[in-house]
Amino acid sequence: MNGIAEIITAFFILVGTTISLLAAIGLVRLPDVYTRSHAASKSSTLGVLCVLIGTLLYFLISDGYFSIRLILGIFFVFLTAPVAAHVICRAAYRNQAPVADTMVEDELKEYYELNPEYKKKSIVVEETVQVDE
């Protein structure tokens, strides 16, 4: 009984950590904000999900304990992590983050030029400091 639980749990947790490692490698290797966000959000979401499912199954099979907190955690991560990536990417686009050379087409650009109200002015860091004499 315990052996089966450990094998299943080990499988899920190994898959989860491997996916998380791939996400970290993608975060280092990929060129710009959008591709990095693509790597980080999707694979880290799936990685965390696999680890949580492994933990849930372990306690379910070995102790017969059904953790409602882990179910809530799985649902919550699945719900919010992609939205966080979406919001970060949108903020990056509105502040004209640099794009990799490999980009072929920017469909959103035409839309933003047609509707200039959508486009927020990027935050200007430079400030002119006037000193009174």
Binding residues for another protein, per CB under 8 A?
A: 69, 72, 75-76, 79-80, 83, 86-87, 115, 117-118
- Which residue shows structure tokens 């179910």? 71
Contact by Cβ (8 Å): 102, 84? no
Place of tokens 């000193």: 131
Looking at the Cβ atoms of 69 and 121, the one nearer to another protein is 69
Q: Whose CA is closest to 92, among 41, 49, 128, 127?
A: 41
In whole angstroms, the minimum distance from the beta carbon of 94 to another protein comes to: 9
CA separation for the pair 128, 10 (Å, rounded): 59
Residue 90 CB, nearest approach to another protein (Å): 9
Q: Which is nearer to another protein, 11 or 75 (CB)?
A: 75
Cβ proximity of 34 and 98 under 8 Å: no
Nearer to another protein by Cβ, of 24 and 119: the residue is 119
Cβ at position 76, least distance to another protein in Å: 6
| Angle of the 33-62 helix axis to the 68-94 helix axis, nearest 10 | 180
**Which of 22, 94 has the CB closer to another protein?**
94
Minimum CB–partner distance for residue 8 and another protein (Å)? 27
